[in-house]
Amino acid sequence: MRYLGKGQRWVAQHGRWWGFGLIPALIALVLYAAVLTVLAIWSGDIAAWATPFADGWDEPWRGLLRGVFVGLLFAGGLMLSVLTFTAVTLLIGDPFYESLSEKVEESEGHCPPSPDRPLWQEIWIALRDSVHVLLRAAGFGILLFVLGFVPFIGQTVIPAIGFCVSGFFLAVELTSVAMQRREIPVRERLRLLRGRKALAVGFGTPIVLLFLIPFVAVVLMPGAVAGATLLVRDLVPGPDEPSGPAPGEAAAGPDQTAAPYGQPGAPGGFGPPPAPYPPNQGHPQAPRYPHQQSGPGSSAARPPAGW
């Protein structure tokens, strides 16, 4: 949660960039408001179409069933809106948030160079990665929707779990801008944040709850991107950046060296980078990561058994 506060404080101190970051969120807000309005108008007809077996039921049971269906349908649409709002806003505002994120990193003393790709390719990569994340989130959403019909648990425990799941995937989306600059592929991002679930959920879930308040998502979006950038800087430090612990974590001991993710040899899977392959041994060239480290699919990047 401290990263969210640091991000909002950064944009408060740089008002021009806060206004700059509002533009994509305002456009997305208008689109989502129109879609949710249509859903609210047609929700009764959708409930009647989806429950034809209840046409012969007596009142109040038919009305109660369809009322619950309408409530779950709208709640699901609202949850989907929260999950996809960030992805759509980031897609619309890719050039905006890329500039904002770069400015945050420059103000902190070091900004990794952006990949030399044309704008259309950047947008295509962002769209492809967002679809990959949203498909995973949709699987959880369907499961939680079904469990929502379970008496008592469906109205208490399941919504709480749903907010945490939404918060995790929202953190994945928000950190994508800074992660893409470091050329970390989407599967590696998911693997990295799965290994730090408390950090990802603690950052994303408060944003999900705040985004439920009308118009707050628009106001907080620039600061959320700034906070996610600061989180990535601590999670995946560059060669010229200090590799200190994240807020709330103990500092490394005298015999422990904090290092980029995915490296064995220290608590939490952190340690010095492995030695490069000797020449002419038939090994493949190491992937382009900010450090000498293993990429997706390698044994060092693969999560340990039972993860």
Q: Where do the domains of the chain lie?
A: 2-235
Round to whole Å and give the CA distance between 40 and 57: 24
Map residue 295 onto helix, strand or coil: coil
Round to whole Å and give the CA distance between 250 and 87: 33
Round to whole Å and give the CA distance between 260 and 112: 14
How does pLDDT run across 111-155, given as a tens digit for each residue? 777 667 776 777 787 778 778 887 888 888 888 888 888 888 888
Residue of 101, 102, 160, 170 whose CA lies nearest to 134: 170
| Dihedrals phi, psi of 248, to nearest 5 degrees | 90, 0
Model confidence at 262, pLDDT cuts 50, 70, 90, reads very low
Contacts made by residues 283-288, CB under 8 angstroms, sequence distance 24+: 288/183
Round to whole Å and give the CA distance between 34 and 36: 6
CA angle 109, 113, 118 (to 5 degrees): 145
Model confidence at 240, pLDDT cuts 50, 70, 90, reads low
Helix 157-174 × helix 216-235 angle, to 10°: 70
Residue 205 has pLDDT above 90, yes or no: yes
How does pLDDT run across 25-67, given as a tens digit for each residue? 889 888 888 988 888 888 888 888 888 887 778 778 888 888 8
How does pLDDT run across 68-117, given as a tens digit for each residue? 888 888 888 887 787 677 778 877 887 888 888 888 988 888 777 766 77
Residue 283 has pLDDT above 90, yes or no: no
Model confidence at 252, pLDDT cuts 50, 70, 90, reads very low
How is the chain split among helix, strand and coil, in percent rounded to 5? 65, 0, 35
